[in-house]
Amino acid sequence: MRTIRIYVEQPLTVGAPVPLAQQAAEHVSRVLRLSSGDPLVLFNGDGHDYAATLSEVGKRQVTATVEGRKEVLCESPLPLVLAQGVARGEKMDLIVQKATELGVSAIVPLITERSEVKLDGERAAKRLAHWQAVIASACEQCGRAVLPRVVAPMPLTGWLTTLADDGALRLALLPEGDRRPRDLSPTSAGAILVVGPEGGLGERDVASLAAHGFRGLQ
């Protein structure tokens, strides 16, 4: 039987009842059609799975009772930050979903020279909330119990000034790149990978990246 995993944005304690948020409650009761007494797993991003049982499935409220806590050891030992030029619509959702499933530790949406998506403050906040939901859903499916961090979209040049000199590999996906995956020697500090939007990275983008120590990766 498939394990049902549900993300909840609240502290979890063994023995305590957990009222599910509206969207999760509707998914459990209307989509999955679970009933009182059915098992499921809750997680809140703290690195643990919490075995639980549905104690109430009503029209107005769905409640689960936490019965156990287990550490989930499936995170990649190599920290990887994906700095992704914002793509249009569902393409960006797919990138966020698959990056989460592949184990990245953080996702940075970038506005680059050839970006076609324009996001003001309100739209950027809505997109950020949407991507956070995509990440939570991907973690439910792939078994991760730690959600990768995602930040609001920011210009590439501004983001580069925030980077710490921590020894992480700095790579940008470029057709003319002089490095290949088999040539890389990962370090404990991990890696940062920059990927352009649909039109790729522009000349000014590439120059800015090179000035901050990024090498091209084929």
In order along the chain (218 residues), what is the average pLDDT of each group of 10 residues?
89 96 92 94 98 92 97 94 94 97 97 88 90 97 97 96 94 92 85 95 97 95
Residue 151: φ, ψ to 5° = -115, 170
Q: Residue 59 has what pLDDT?
A: 80
Question: Global pTM?
Answer: 0.93
Q: Residue 21 has what pLDDT?
A: 93
Q: Residue 14 has what pLDDT?
A: 97
Q: Residue 194 has what pLDDT?
A: 98
Report, in this order, helix, strand and coil percent for the chain, each rounded to 5: 30, 30, 45
Q: List, edge to edge, every strand of the sheet that includes 48-57.
A: 5-7, 39-43, 48-57, 62-71, 17-19
Q: Residue 1 has what pLDDT?
A: 60
In the chain, DSSP assigns E strands to 5-7, 17-19, 39-43, 48-57, 62-71, 80-85, 106-111, 149-150, 154-155, 169-173, 191-195, 215-217
**DSSP structure class, residue 202:** -
Residue 55: φ, ψ to 5° = -105, -15
Measuring CA to CA, how many Å separate 162 from each of 80, 124, 154, 156?
16, 19, 11, 10
The residue with tokens 């992480």 is: 168
- Asked whether 138 and 182 are in contact (CB, 8 A), the reply is no
